[in-house]
Amino acid sequence: MRCRAVAECHSNVRAPPQLTSVGRLNDAGRPVLYASLKEETALAEIQVAPKQYVQVIGYRTLVGESIRIAVVGEMMHVHKFGYMRFTGSDPDATLGRILNDKSLDEGRQLLYLDAFLHHLLSDPAARDSDYLLSRAVTAMIHRNPAIDGIAYPSARDPLGYNITLRPEASTSRMHATCCMHCRVDALHEFGFVEYTLLQEAMRTDDEGVFEWMPPLGPSQRRLFNLTKEEYELSVKLKDDRNAFNQVKRVHQ
């Protein structure tokens, strides 16, 4: 699947390899970008606690570029509900056609394999075995050099989705479009996190360093590196509460 996505970063792909420890989808010394489709999922993944300070970065693909994502754990969902959780649809009925073109036994085997790999990638207890099995699945998927990353359901947010990206894809075909410095105030059931926005980045300088400004407000976001079309739409919708999602949708 070729994907243009907006993601909330919760791990730094630019960490030196010698400082990169084992993760759910990476070996020691092999950094990847871990990101989530929603900021709440990113905060759940790093297990924030009240009174902690966090920095959340929003990324998107560069205009004219795309990333190739292997989506794991969606065949069973398409089989039962008709759509992918990751995209909200089954684009061109691709997965449905793949399953329907198989015999009954072959289709069941595909469904079982996809569900099994999903379980390994999203197993909440995977940390107890140093993520051995989830890293093995990752190595198997990345045997295909055309695949830039993997999308899989979050182990900590039941409705959340994560993406990992290889360094070459995240550094050459994606860039930051927003960045927030926050203080976590309270955690609630069902994944709700209360936080106070302390600073927002308004741009990056020539060396890639964020330039900080006071936040606009609790329901507003500063965005930078926008295309002309996105900027004009954001100005037009400046008083619209749905503006943020609509600006993202222009790019997606």
Indicate whether 153 belongs to any domain.
yes
- Does residue 248 have a pLDDT over 80? no
Indicate whether 201 belongs to any domain.
yes
The total of structural domains in the chain comes to: 1
- Does residue 188 have a pLDDT over 50? yes
Range of the domain at 179: 2-221
Indicate whether 68 belongs to any domain.
yes
Helix axes 243-251, 228-236, angle to 10 degrees: 160
Indicate whether 75 belongs to any domain.
yes
Supply the pLDDT for residue 12.
42
What average pLDDT does this structure show over 144-158?
Answer: 90
- Does residue 187 have a pLDDT over 50? yes
d(CA 86, CA 231): 26
Indicate whether 250 belongs to any domain.
no
Indicate whether 236 belongs to any domain.
no
Q: Token match 């399953």: residue?
A: 99
Q: How crowded is residue 122: how many other Cβ atoms within 10 Å of its Cβ?
A: 18
Tell me the pLDDT of the chain averaged across its residues: 84
Indicate whether 237 belongs to any domain.
no
Indicate whether 145 belongs to any domain.
yes
What average pLDDT does this structure show over 155-167?
Answer: 88
Q: Token match 């699945």: residue?
A: 137
